[in-house]
Amino acid sequence: MLALNRVAVTYGNGTQALKPTSLKLAQGQFVVLLGRSGAGKSTLIRTLNGLVAPTSGSIIADGVGSLDGERALRVHRRRTGMIFQQHQLIGRLSALDNVMTGRLGYHSSFRTLFPLPRSDRQLGLECLARVGLLDKALVRADQLSGGQQQRVGIARALVQQPRLILADEPVASLDPETAVEVLSQLRHICTTDGITAVISLHQIDLARRFGDRVIAMRDGSVVADASVEELTDQMCASIYRSEASGRSSQQAHHHSSHSQPQPVAAMEAAL
């Protein structure tokens, strides 16, 4: 569905946010990105949608080809839905009007100056119904709860009739119960429609519960790529262990193995 061939991103200040990365995403796969803050997850997601241009390497999308060209990138973005951590809704607009912004890519700039076709609005209502918010269609976005706002974000992505959905920490600002509800809904929709999804998360339990595949990142590199069934506790611990803590752990082990008496033995001797 989408292939990255040694894609790398280096920012203007010299920071290499994404080291040469090669990946293939299959149609209908629910992929979870795991990693510490600053690991490169957000950069990878933005690169998949062309919001960040690769410094080197290439991205190939089915039916479009290389995303180097402006037209190919425009088509790819039109069929790629984005879901954001902070929802990115316009508070003074209704839920439906926010959803309708997902249809703008299907019309010329001039056409968007006028009300969108009735068929588009009907599609928007259907997408709100799929996330359980049809009764909130005319309610201002800033009057909705955080979970409801994120579901509007999902509906906005769905109205694009996407082949790919990218979500950058979509449940980071939600309470645990609401996070499960939102991910359950998103997973069900993607499975039903055969949509590929790439979701960045911090919660390992959610990755195991909802993901098909886990891609772990550290310092701008992919350090693990496995099915959820292959994800071990040891792998999870290594993903989130910092280099400093790793060195400290090794130093502590070295010190303890050469120090006599051992802490427990010393306590027993004192008793």
Q: Is residue 257 in some structural domain? A: no
pLDDT exceeds cutoff 90 at 249: no
> Which helix (DSSP H) or strand (DSSP E) does residue 6 occupy?
strand 2-10
pLDDT exceeds cutoff 80 at 35: yes
Which residue's entry shows tokens 């506790």?
233
Q: How much is the average pLDDT of 210-239?
A: 91
Q: Do the beta carbons of residue 190 and residue 28 sit within 8 Å?
A: yes
Same domain, 210 and 226: yes
Supply the pLDDT for residue 75.
92
Same domain, 39 and 134: no
State pLDDT tens for residues 149-187: 999 999 999 999 999 999 999 999 899 999 999 999 999
Residue 233's domain comprises 2-79+163-240
> If you average pLDDT over every residue of the chain, what do you get?
88
Give the tokens for residue 129: 């119904």
Buried b (16+ CB within 10 A) or exposed e, 48-87: bbbebebeebebbbeebeebeeeebbebbbbbbbbbbbeb
What CATH number is associated with residue 38?
Answer: 3.40.50.300
State pLDDT tens for residues 80-91: 999 998 889 999
Highest mean pLDDT among 107-111, 121-125, 201-205: 121-125
Q: Do the beta carbons of residue 182 and residue 189 sit within 8 Å?
A: no
Q: How many domains does the chain have?
A: 2
Sorting pLDDT into bands at 50, 70 and 90, what band is 44?
very high
Same domain, 113 and 156: yes
